[in-house]
Structure 1
Amino acid sequence: MDHNHAKIIIKGSPITKSNFKLSNVHGRSILPYNSGKYHDRYAIYEEEIAYQARLQNPGVVIMESLIAILKVYYKSKKRHPDTTNIPKSIFDGIEKSGIIVNDAQIRRLVIEEYYDDKNPRFELELFGESSYCINYQIMEKSVSSTPINYSSPPNKKSLGIPKVKNNIANSNNFFCEICHKQVKKENIVSANKGKTILCKDCLKKLF
Protein backbone atom coordinates (compact mmCIF):
# COMPACT_ATOMS: atom_id res chain seq x y z
CA MET A 1 0.00 0.00 0.00
CA ASP A 2 1.29 3.47 -0.95
CA HIS A 3 1.20 5.64 2.17
CA ASN A 4 2.30 8.72 0.22
CA HIS A 5 -0.81 8.73 -1.95
CA ALA A 6 -4.56 8.77 -1.40
CA LYS A 7 -7.55 9.11 -3.71
CA ILE A 8 -11.02 10.12 -2.53
CA ILE A 9 -14.23 10.27 -4.59
CA ILE A 10 -17.33 11.76 -2.94
CA LYS A 11 -20.57 11.56 -4.88
CA GLY A 12 -23.09 14.39 -4.84
CA SER A 13 -22.91 18.10 -5.62
CA PRO A 14 -20.01 19.70 -3.71
CA ILE A 15 -21.01 22.39 -1.21
CA THR A 16 -19.09 25.17 0.48
CA LYS A 17 -18.82 25.95 4.17
CA SER A 18 -19.34 29.70 3.66
CA ASN A 19 -23.06 29.16 2.97
CA PHE A 20 -23.66 27.38 6.28
CA LYS A 21 -21.80 29.36 8.93
CA LEU A 22 -23.61 31.28 11.65
CA SER A 23 -21.98 33.78 13.99
CA ASN A 24 -22.52 33.96 17.72
CA VAL A 25 -22.85 37.13 19.82
CA HIS A 26 -19.05 37.44 19.99
CA GLY A 27 -18.64 37.16 16.22
CA ARG A 28 -17.20 33.63 16.36
CA SER A 29 -18.28 31.35 13.52
CA ILE A 30 -20.23 28.21 14.43
CA LEU A 31 -21.57 25.28 12.43
CA PRO A 32 -24.83 23.81 13.80
CA TYR A 33 -25.08 20.00 13.79
CA ASN A 34 -28.52 19.22 15.17
CA SER A 35 -30.72 22.27 14.81
CA GLY A 36 -33.05 20.33 12.49
CA LYS A 37 -32.60 23.07 9.92
CA TYR A 38 -30.89 23.66 6.58
CA HIS A 39 -27.64 24.72 8.27
CA ASP A 40 -27.11 21.13 9.47
CA ARG A 41 -26.45 20.13 5.86
CA TYR A 42 -22.79 21.17 5.86
CA ALA A 43 -21.95 19.34 9.09
CA ILE A 44 -23.49 16.16 7.66
CA TYR A 45 -21.53 16.65 4.41
CA GLU A 46 -18.27 17.05 6.32
CA GLU A 47 -18.94 13.82 8.23
CA GLU A 48 -19.70 12.00 4.95
CA ILE A 49 -16.39 13.18 3.48
CA ALA A 50 -14.51 11.97 6.55
CA TYR A 51 -16.25 8.58 6.53
CA GLN A 52 -15.84 7.90 2.82
CA ALA A 53 -12.23 9.13 2.74
CA ARG A 54 -11.26 6.68 5.48
CA LEU A 55 -13.29 3.85 3.93
CA GLN A 56 -11.57 4.34 0.57
CA ASN A 57 -8.07 4.60 2.08
CA PRO A 58 -7.83 2.13 4.98
CA GLY A 59 -4.70 2.48 7.09
CA VAL A 60 -3.39 5.52 5.18
CA VAL A 61 -2.02 8.41 7.25
CA ILE A 62 0.06 11.05 5.47
CA MET A 63 2.03 13.45 7.66
CA GLU A 64 4.27 15.13 5.09
CA SER A 65 3.67 18.07 2.74
CA LEU A 66 1.29 17.35 -0.11
CA ILE A 67 0.34 18.06 -3.69
CA ALA A 68 -3.43 18.02 -4.15
CA ILE A 69 -5.27 17.58 -7.45
CA LEU A 70 -8.97 18.39 -7.04
CA LYS A 71 -11.51 17.76 -9.80
CA VAL A 72 -14.98 19.13 -9.08
CA TYR A 73 -17.93 17.90 -11.16
CA TYR A 74 -21.03 20.10 -10.84
CA LYS A 75 -24.52 19.10 -11.88
CA SER A 76 -25.17 22.41 -13.62
CA LYS A 77 -23.00 24.86 -15.50
CA LYS A 78 -25.15 27.79 -14.42
CA ARG A 79 -25.89 27.12 -10.76
CA HIS A 80 -23.09 25.96 -8.46
CA PRO A 81 -20.89 27.31 -5.64
CA ASP A 82 -17.78 29.35 -6.36
CA THR A 83 -15.06 26.80 -7.04
CA THR A 84 -12.55 28.92 -5.13
CA ASN A 85 -14.61 28.35 -1.95
CA ILE A 86 -14.78 24.55 -2.32
CA PRO A 87 -11.30 23.38 -1.14
CA LYS A 88 -11.67 24.48 2.51
CA SER A 89 -14.94 22.59 2.80
CA ILE A 90 -13.35 19.43 1.43
CA PHE A 91 -10.07 19.54 3.34
CA ASP A 92 -11.87 20.02 6.67
CA GLY A 93 -13.55 16.66 6.06
CA ILE A 94 -10.30 15.04 4.89
CA GLU A 95 -8.51 16.25 8.02
CA LYS A 96 -11.31 14.87 10.18
CA SER A 97 -10.88 11.48 8.48
CA GLY A 98 -7.33 11.21 9.84
CA ILE A 99 -5.75 10.64 6.42
CA ILE A 100 -3.92 13.94 6.90
CA VAL A 101 -3.07 15.53 10.23
CA ASN A 102 -3.45 19.17 9.21
CA ASP A 103 -4.84 20.80 6.08
CA ALA A 104 -1.79 23.09 6.15
CA GLN A 105 0.05 20.10 4.62
CA ILE A 106 -1.42 21.09 1.24
CA ARG A 107 1.41 23.10 -0.33
CA ARG A 108 0.39 22.78 -3.97
CA LEU A 109 -3.19 22.69 -5.14
CA VAL A 110 -4.63 22.33 -8.65
CA ILE A 111 -8.42 22.70 -9.04
CA GLU A 112 -10.29 21.72 -12.21
CA GLU A 113 -13.99 22.42 -12.81
CA TYR A 114 -16.17 20.03 -14.81
CA TYR A 115 -19.87 19.28 -15.26
CA ASP A 116 -21.73 15.99 -15.00
CA ASP A 117 -25.50 16.24 -14.59
CA LYS A 118 -25.79 12.47 -14.06
CA ASN A 119 -23.00 12.03 -11.51
CA PRO A 120 -21.95 15.23 -9.69
CA ARG A 121 -18.99 14.61 -7.37
CA PHE A 122 -15.49 15.60 -6.48
CA GLU A 123 -12.34 13.57 -6.99
CA LEU A 124 -9.31 14.37 -4.88
CA GLU A 125 -5.83 12.89 -5.11
CA LEU A 126 -3.12 13.58 -2.55
CA PHE A 127 0.58 13.01 -3.30
CA GLY A 128 3.42 13.17 -0.77
CA GLU A 129 6.12 15.56 -1.94
CA SER A 130 8.93 13.22 -0.88
CA SER A 131 7.85 10.80 -3.65
CA TYR A 132 6.00 12.97 -6.18
CA CYS A 133 6.44 16.28 -7.99
CA ILE A 134 4.18 18.25 -10.32
CA ASN A 135 4.83 20.04 -13.59
CA TYR A 136 2.35 22.28 -15.36
CA GLN A 137 2.50 24.47 -18.41
CA ILE A 138 0.41 27.36 -19.73
CA MET A 139 0.36 27.58 -23.52
CA GLU A 140 -1.32 29.98 -25.92
CA LYS A 141 -3.90 28.27 -28.15
CA SER A 142 -3.19 28.18 -31.85
CA VAL A 143 -6.95 28.65 -32.46
CA SER A 144 -8.99 30.60 -29.91
CA SER A 145 -12.16 29.04 -28.56
CA THR A 146 -15.39 30.80 -27.59
CA PRO A 147 -14.83 32.52 -24.21
CA ILE A 148 -16.95 31.58 -21.20
CA ASN A 149 -17.98 34.97 -19.84
CA TYR A 150 -19.25 35.69 -16.32
CA SER A 151 -21.32 38.52 -14.87
CA SER A 152 -20.96 40.14 -11.45
CA PRO A 153 -22.65 38.26 -8.58
CA PRO A 154 -26.07 39.68 -7.64
CA ASN A 155 -24.98 40.45 -4.07
CA LYS A 156 -21.96 42.52 -5.10
CA LYS A 157 -22.14 46.18 -4.14
CA SER A 158 -22.42 48.44 -7.18
CA LEU A 159 -19.90 51.25 -7.50
CA GLY A 160 -21.29 54.52 -6.20
CA ILE A 161 -24.53 52.96 -4.96
CA PRO A 162 -24.77 52.35 -1.21
CA LYS A 163 -25.88 48.90 -0.17
CA VAL A 164 -29.38 48.76 1.31
CA LYS A 165 -29.27 47.42 4.84
CA ASN A 166 -31.50 44.63 6.05
CA ASN A 167 -34.77 45.94 7.48
CA ILE A 168 -34.17 44.38 10.90
CA ALA A 169 -33.77 47.83 12.45
CA ASN A 170 -37.25 48.83 11.27
CA SER A 171 -39.09 45.63 12.12
CA ASN A 172 -40.89 44.62 15.30
CA ASN A 173 -41.75 41.03 14.33
CA PHE A 174 -38.98 38.47 14.72
CA PHE A 175 -39.23 34.69 14.58
CA CYS A 176 -36.39 32.33 15.49
CA GLU A 177 -35.48 30.03 12.58
CA ILE A 178 -34.91 27.10 14.93
CA CYS A 179 -37.78 27.18 17.45
CA HIS A 180 -40.11 29.34 15.29
CA LYS A 181 -41.17 31.39 18.33
CA GLN A 182 -41.69 35.14 18.15
CA VAL A 183 -38.80 36.91 19.85
CA LYS A 184 -38.38 40.42 21.19
CA LYS A 185 -35.82 42.57 19.44
CA GLU A 186 -33.49 42.66 22.46
CA ASN A 187 -33.37 38.83 22.56
CA ILE A 188 -32.43 38.15 18.92
CA VAL A 189 -29.08 37.37 17.33
CA SER A 190 -28.68 37.97 13.61
CA ALA A 191 -26.28 36.04 11.38
CA ASN A 192 -25.40 35.72 7.70
CA LYS A 193 -25.57 39.49 7.20
CA GLY A 194 -29.01 39.72 8.72
CA LYS A 195 -30.57 36.90 6.71
CA THR A 196 -30.79 34.53 9.69
CA ILE A 197 -32.52 35.29 12.99
CA LEU A 198 -31.97 33.21 16.13
CA CYS A 199 -33.17 33.67 19.68
CA LYS A 200 -30.50 33.70 22.38
CA ASP A 201 -31.89 30.50 23.97
CA CYS A 202 -31.48 28.50 20.74
CA LEU A 203 -28.03 29.99 20.14
CA LYS A 204 -26.84 28.67 23.52
CA LYS A 205 -28.11 25.18 22.64
CA LEU A 206 -25.87 25.09 19.55
CA PHE A 207 -22.72 24.91 21.66
Structure 2
Amino acid sequence: MSNCYAKVIVKGSPISKSNFKLFNKEGRAILPYNSGKYHDRYALYEEEIALEARAQNPGIIIEEACIAILKVFYKSEKRHPDTNNITKSILDGIEKSGLIINDAQVRRLVIEEFYDKENPRFELELFGESSYSLEYSLHKKELQDDKILYSPPSNKKSKSSLGDNMTFSSVSSDTYVSMLNSKEKSEKLIKKKKISPKEIDNILKCDICGKVIVSNDYISANKGKTLICNKCFNKNF
Protein backbone atom coordinates (compact mmCIF):
# COMPACT_ATOMS: atom_id res chain seq x y z
CA MET A 1 0.00 0.00 0.00
CA SER A 2 1.24 3.49 -0.87
CA ASN A 3 2.82 5.40 2.00
CA CYS A 4 2.16 8.84 0.54
CA TYR A 5 -1.58 9.17 1.27
CA ALA A 6 -3.82 8.67 4.28
CA LYS A 7 -7.29 9.75 5.35
CA VAL A 8 -8.63 9.93 8.90
CA ILE A 9 -12.22 10.57 10.01
CA VAL A 10 -13.00 10.98 13.71
CA LYS A 11 -16.64 11.44 14.71
CA GLY A 12 -17.76 13.79 17.46
CA SER A 13 -17.31 17.50 18.12
CA PRO A 14 -13.62 18.42 17.73
CA ILE A 15 -11.84 19.48 20.92
CA SER A 16 -9.17 22.16 21.17
CA LYS A 17 -6.61 22.14 23.97
CA SER A 18 -5.50 25.60 22.81
CA ASN A 19 -3.05 26.98 25.41
CA PHE A 20 -3.83 24.38 28.09
CA LYS A 21 -0.73 23.56 30.14
CA LEU A 22 -0.25 21.42 33.23
CA PHE A 23 3.11 20.75 34.85
CA ASN A 24 4.40 18.02 37.15
CA LYS A 25 6.66 18.49 40.19
CA GLU A 26 9.76 18.50 37.96
CA GLY A 27 8.34 21.34 35.87
CA ARG A 28 7.68 19.20 32.79
CA ALA A 29 4.51 19.80 30.79
CA ILE A 30 2.10 16.86 31.05
CA LEU A 31 -1.30 15.91 29.65
CA PRO A 32 -3.09 13.67 32.20
CA TYR A 33 -5.81 11.23 31.15
CA ASN A 34 -6.94 9.49 34.36
CA SER A 35 -6.96 12.19 37.04
CA GLY A 36 -10.75 12.36 37.12
CA LYS A 37 -10.58 16.06 36.25
CA TYR A 38 -12.13 17.91 33.31
CA HIS A 39 -8.78 18.31 31.54
CA ASP A 40 -8.48 14.52 31.10
CA ARG A 41 -10.55 14.93 27.96
CA TYR A 42 -7.66 16.50 26.05
CA ALA A 43 -5.44 13.42 26.39
CA LEU A 44 -8.36 11.03 25.85
CA TYR A 45 -9.29 12.85 22.65
CA GLU A 46 -5.73 12.51 21.34
CA GLU A 47 -5.82 8.78 22.16
CA GLU A 48 -9.11 8.42 20.28
CA ILE A 49 -7.58 10.15 17.26
CA ALA A 50 -4.53 7.88 17.44
CA LEU A 51 -6.66 4.70 17.58
CA GLU A 52 -8.91 5.79 14.71
CA ALA A 53 -5.97 6.90 12.56
CA ARG A 54 -4.20 3.57 12.95
CA ALA A 55 -7.36 1.49 12.49
CA GLN A 56 -8.32 3.35 9.30
CA ASN A 57 -4.80 3.24 7.81
CA PRO A 58 -3.24 -0.12 8.72
CA GLY A 59 0.39 -0.51 7.73
CA ILE A 60 0.79 3.08 6.53
CA ILE A 61 3.60 5.27 7.82
CA ILE A 62 4.25 8.61 6.12
CA GLU A 63 7.86 9.66 6.72
CA GLU A 64 8.17 12.50 4.22
CA ALA A 65 6.98 16.11 4.25
CA CYS A 66 3.28 16.24 3.58
CA ILE A 67 0.29 18.41 2.75
CA ALA A 68 -2.70 18.31 5.11
CA ILE A 69 -6.29 19.10 4.14
CA LEU A 70 -8.43 19.40 7.28
CA LYS A 71 -12.22 19.72 7.20
CA VAL A 72 -13.83 20.40 10.57
CA PHE A 73 -17.57 19.87 10.99
CA TYR A 74 -19.04 21.53 14.09
CA LYS A 75 -22.42 20.80 15.61
CA SER A 76 -23.24 24.47 16.23
CA GLU A 77 -22.47 27.60 14.25
CA LYS A 78 -22.45 29.76 17.39
CA ARG A 79 -20.60 27.66 19.97
CA HIS A 80 -17.43 25.88 18.94
CA PRO A 81 -13.66 26.11 19.51
CA ASP A 82 -11.45 28.38 17.44
CA THR A 83 -10.69 26.44 14.27
CA ASN A 84 -7.09 27.65 14.19
CA ASN A 85 -6.54 26.00 17.61
CA ILE A 86 -8.01 22.64 16.59
CA THR A 87 -5.02 21.52 14.54
CA LYS A 88 -2.66 21.04 17.50
CA SER A 89 -4.83 18.38 19.17
CA ILE A 90 -5.47 16.61 15.88
CA LEU A 91 -1.87 16.51 14.67
CA ASP A 92 -0.62 15.43 18.11
CA GLY A 93 -3.06 12.52 17.96
CA ILE A 94 -2.01 11.63 14.41
CA GLU A 95 1.64 11.64 15.49
CA LYS A 96 0.86 9.35 18.45
CA SER A 97 -0.79 6.90 16.06
CA GLY A 98 2.47 6.45 14.15
CA LEU A 99 0.79 7.47 10.90
CA ILE A 100 3.36 10.27 10.74
CA ILE A 101 6.59 10.35 12.72
CA ASN A 102 6.62 14.08 13.52
CA ASP A 103 3.88 16.69 13.20
CA ALA A 104 6.53 19.05 11.80
CA GLN A 105 6.20 17.01 8.59
CA VAL A 106 3.05 18.97 7.79
CA ARG A 107 4.47 21.89 5.83
CA ARG A 108 1.27 22.94 4.09
CA LEU A 109 -2.07 23.02 5.85
CA VAL A 110 -5.53 23.93 4.56
CA ILE A 111 -8.37 24.19 7.10
CA GLU A 112 -12.05 24.45 6.20
CA GLU A 113 -14.92 24.99 8.63
CA PHE A 114 -18.35 23.41 8.14
CA TYR A 115 -21.44 22.64 10.23
CA ASP A 116 -23.27 19.35 10.62
CA LYS A 117 -25.76 19.08 13.51
CA GLU A 118 -26.29 15.36 12.99
CA ASN A 119 -22.70 14.24 12.43
CA PRO A 120 -19.99 16.55 13.87
CA ARG A 121 -16.50 15.29 13.00
CA PHE A 122 -13.22 16.11 11.37
CA GLU A 123 -11.80 14.70 8.15
CA LEU A 124 -8.06 14.88 7.60
CA GLU A 125 -6.23 13.92 4.41
CA LEU A 126 -2.45 13.68 4.26
CA PHE A 127 -0.57 13.80 0.95
CA GLY A 128 3.15 13.12 0.55
CA GLU A 129 4.87 16.04 -1.17
CA SER A 130 6.92 13.71 -3.37
CA SER A 131 3.73 12.63 -5.16
CA TYR A 132 1.34 15.55 -4.67
CA SER A 133 1.43 19.33 -5.02
CA LEU A 134 -0.97 21.98 -3.77
CA GLU A 135 -2.37 24.88 -5.78
CA TYR A 136 -4.92 27.46 -4.69
CA SER A 137 -6.61 30.51 -6.15
CA LEU A 138 -8.94 33.28 -5.01
CA HIS A 139 -11.73 34.75 -7.12
CA LYS A 140 -13.83 37.85 -6.51
CA LYS A 141 -17.52 36.97 -6.40
CA GLU A 142 -19.81 38.55 -8.95
CA LEU A 143 -22.61 38.69 -6.36
CA GLN A 144 -21.65 39.37 -2.77
CA ASP A 145 -22.95 36.92 -0.15
CA ASP A 146 -24.28 37.92 3.25
CA LYS A 147 -21.45 38.66 5.66
CA ILE A 148 -20.75 36.28 8.55
CA LEU A 149 -20.04 38.72 11.37
CA TYR A 150 -18.18 37.97 14.61
CA SER A 151 -18.12 39.64 18.02
CA PRO A 152 -15.15 39.81 20.44
CA PRO A 153 -14.52 36.71 22.61
CA SER A 154 -16.54 36.67 25.84
CA ASN A 155 -13.41 36.77 28.00
CA LYS A 156 -12.31 40.01 26.33
CA LYS A 157 -15.65 41.76 26.66
CA SER A 158 -15.47 41.87 30.44
CA LYS A 159 -11.71 42.16 30.93
CA SER A 160 -10.97 45.01 28.57
CA SER A 161 -8.53 47.48 30.09
CA LEU A 162 -10.71 50.32 28.76
CA GLY A 163 -14.04 49.30 30.27
CA ASP A 164 -17.06 47.22 29.24
CA ASN A 165 -18.11 49.13 26.13
CA MET A 166 -15.10 51.28 25.43
CA THR A 167 -12.56 50.50 22.71
CA PHE A 168 -9.48 52.18 21.25
CA SER A 169 -11.49 53.13 18.17
CA SER A 170 -14.41 54.66 20.11
CA VAL A 171 -12.33 57.18 22.10
CA SER A 172 -9.74 59.57 20.70
CA SER A 173 -6.17 59.87 21.95
CA ASP A 174 -7.07 63.27 23.46
CA THR A 175 -9.61 61.50 25.65
CA TYR A 176 -6.92 59.18 27.00
CA VAL A 177 -4.68 62.14 27.85
CA SER A 178 -7.57 63.86 29.62
CA MET A 179 -8.28 60.80 31.71
CA LEU A 180 -4.61 60.39 32.53
CA ASN A 181 -3.86 63.89 33.73
CA SER A 182 -7.02 65.73 34.72
CA LYS A 183 -9.96 64.74 36.89
CA GLU A 184 -11.72 67.97 35.87
CA LYS A 185 -11.50 67.10 32.18
CA SER A 186 -12.75 63.58 32.90
CA GLU A 187 -15.83 65.06 34.54
CA LYS A 188 -16.41 67.20 31.45
CA LEU A 189 -16.24 64.09 29.28
CA ILE A 190 -18.90 62.49 31.46
CA LYS A 191 -21.17 65.52 31.08
CA LYS A 192 -20.72 65.43 27.30
CA LYS A 193 -21.65 61.70 27.43
CA LYS A 194 -18.41 60.71 25.73
CA ILE A 195 -17.72 58.33 28.58
CA SER A 196 -19.73 57.04 31.54
CA PRO A 197 -18.66 57.02 35.23
CA LYS A 198 -18.85 53.21 35.17
CA GLU A 199 -16.37 53.08 32.29
CA ILE A 200 -13.94 55.32 34.17
CA ASP A 201 -14.23 53.10 37.26
CA ASN A 202 -13.49 50.01 35.14
CA ILE A 203 -10.37 51.47 33.55
CA LEU A 204 -7.20 49.81 34.84
CA LYS A 205 -4.82 52.14 36.67
CA CYS A 206 -1.28 51.77 38.00
CA ASP A 207 -1.30 51.38 41.79
CA ILE A 208 1.87 53.50 42.10
CA CYS A 209 1.42 56.49 39.80
CA GLY A 210 -2.35 56.25 39.38
CA LYS A 211 -2.22 56.69 35.62
CA VAL A 212 -4.45 54.78 33.22
CA ILE A 213 -2.92 51.61 31.81
CA VAL A 214 -3.22 51.39 28.04
CA SER A 215 -2.82 48.07 26.21
CA ASN A 216 -0.67 45.43 27.99
CA ASP A 217 1.91 47.90 29.31
CA TYR A 218 1.79 46.63 32.90
CA ILE A 219 2.82 43.90 35.36
CA SER A 220 0.37 42.28 37.78
CA ALA A 221 1.13 41.04 41.28
CA ASN A 222 -0.72 39.69 44.32
CA LYS A 223 -2.83 37.36 42.14
CA GLY A 224 -3.83 40.20 39.82
CA LYS A 225 -5.00 42.55 42.59
CA THR A 226 -2.01 44.88 42.17
CA LEU A 227 -1.18 46.47 38.80
CA ILE A 228 2.07 48.33 38.09
CA CYS A 229 2.82 50.05 34.79
CA ASN A 230 6.15 49.13 33.21
CA LYS A 231 7.49 52.67 33.70
CA CYS A 232 6.96 52.54 37.49
CA PHE A 233 8.23 48.99 37.68
CA ASN A 234 11.50 49.87 35.92
CA LYS A 235 11.92 53.00 38.06
CA ASN A 236 11.26 51.41 41.46
CA PHE A 237 12.35 47.82 41.09
User: Letter of the aligned partner of 1:158 in structure 2?
Assistant: S
Contact 2:18-2:86 at 8 Å conserved across structures: no
Structure 2 residue runs of 5 or longer lacking an equivalent are 163-202, 205-215, 226-237
For residues 134-180 of structure 1, the C-alpha deviation after alignment (integer angstroms, 9 at most, x for no partner) is: 111011100000000001101124253439x899688xxxxxxxxxx
- Percent of aligned pairs with the same amino acid: 67
> Equivalent residue for 1:199?
none
Q: How many residues align?
A: 169
Structure 1 residue runs of 5 or longer lacking an equivalent are 171-207
The one of the two structures with greater contact order (alpha-carbon pairs below 8 A, sep at least 6) is: 1
Matches of residues 1-150 of structure 1 in structure 2 within 5 Å?
1-18=1-18, 20-23=20-23, 28-150=28-150
Contact 1:7-1:123 at 8 Å conserved across structures: yes
Q: Secondary structure at the match of 1:7?
A: strand
Contact 1:12-1:120 at 8 Å conserved across structures: yes
Contact 2:18-2:88 at 8 Å conserved across structures: no
Between the aligned partners of 1:122 and 1:158, the Cα distance in structure 2 is 34
Q: Secondary structure at the match of 1:117?
A: coil
Contact 1:21-1:39 at 8 Å conserved across structures: no
Between the aligned partners of 1:70 and 1:123, the Cα distance in structure 2 is 6
Of Structure 1 and Structure 2, the greater strand share is in 1
Between the aligned partners of 2:118 and 2:84, the Cα distance in structure 1 is 23
Between the aligned partners of 1:26 and 1:155, the Cα distance in structure 2 is 31
Between the aligned partners of 2:136 and 2:117, the Cα distance in structure 1 is 29
Q: Secondary structure at the match of 2:127?
A: strand
Between the aligned partners of 1:137 and 1:48, the Cα distance in structure 2 is 35
Of Structure 1 and Structure 2, the greater helix share is in 2
Q: Secondary structure at the match of 1:18?
A: coil
User: Letter of the aligned partner of 2:31 in structure 1?
Assistant: L
Contact 1:7-1:126 at 8 Å conserved across structures: yes
How far off is 1:129 after superposition? Answer: 0.3
Q: Which has the larger radius of gyration?
A: 2
Q: Secondary structure at the match of 2:155?
A: coil
For residues 81-138 of structure 1, the C-alpha deviation after alignment (integer angstroms, 9 at most, x for no partner) is: 0000000110000000001000000000000000001000000000000000011101
Please, which moves more after superposition, 152-161 or 37-46?
Answer: 152-161
User: Letter of the aligned partner of 1:107 in structure 2?
Assistant: R
Give the TM-score of the pair, scaled to structure 1. 0.75
Between the aligned partners of 2:112 and 2:151, the Cα distance in structure 1 is 20
How far off is 1:32 after superposition? Answer: 1.7
